[in-house]
Amino acid sequence: MKKRNIPYGVLACISIVFILYALVNNYIIDPGAEKFLSQKTGLSRQLKLPIWLNVMYIHVAFACIAMAAGLLNFSKVLFEKSRKFHRINGYIYLISVLAVVLTSGYMAPYATGGKISSMGFNALNMIWLFITVTALVQIKKKRVSRHRSWMMRSYAFCFTNMLIHLTAFLCHNGFGYEYAVSYTIGIYSSIALLLVIPEVIIRIRERWNIK
């Protein structure tokens, strides 16, 4: 494997593993989300379980589609073989992000940690949608380089759930915080990291003139 393909290979492995985990965990191992729901505290309204579960299934499905579509569109091989596929797949990614944001908006009031966590999710959703729409605007204006940079920023948010749970796990099991507090910390720290990490990668690419 060429050195320039190593970063994409690593990204592909992480994305594929996470997609498989999300699908197996949410649709096979724990379709009722019993473990996740058992940790919810500070809810501002009563959770209507059947509706919430159906929305969650849609949320997970489109989150996986967004992650897969974004990954495929970062492939230079596929891009060079078919610009049409890249364009269609890009719209699939856009629609998937919109679906994730809308379903997340429904579930936000029921977020673990109560209102503070809910506000964090709403902020996260607005930021992700703004960044994704900006990427679309850039390509419509034929600004390919800027489009790619904004897509990198957008794709980072596909890892929101993974980052939140990793941070919550570290705070809860490593530092002994209550799970609800750990989860809230995970939300806000993830927003910061998801904004900073892509910027670092973009600056490195620009400095080394990586196409």
Q: Is the dihedral of CA 98, 117, 25, 11 positive or negative?
A: positive
State the Cα–Cα distance between residues 131 and 135, nearest whole angstrom.
6
Confidence at residue 44, expressed as pLDDT on a 0 to 100 scale? 61
Every domain of the chain and the residues it spans:
3-158
pLDDT tens, the chain, 211 aa long = 455 578 899 999 999 999 999 999 999 999 999 888 887 766 666 788 899 999 999 999 999 999 999 999 999 899 999 999 999 999 999 999 999 999 999 999 999 888 999 999 999 999 999 999 999 999 999 999 999 999 999 999 999 999 999 999 999 999 999 999 999 999 999 999 999 999 999 998 888 776 6
Confidence at residue 35, expressed as pLDDT on a 0 to 100 scale? 85
Confidence at residue 129, expressed as pLDDT on a 0 to 100 scale? 97
Confidence at residue 102, expressed as pLDDT on a 0 to 100 scale? 97
Other CB atoms within a 10 A radius of the CB of residue 134 amount to 16
This prediction has a pTM of: 0.92
State the Cα–Cα distance between residues 148 and 198, nearest whole angstrom.
11
Burial of 39 (0-12, 13-18, 19+ CB in 10 A): middle
Kindly state the DSSP code that residue 157 receives in the 8-state scheme. G
Other CB atoms within a 10 A radius of the CB of residue 95 amount to 14
Other CB atoms within a 10 A radius of the CB of residue 126 amount to 12
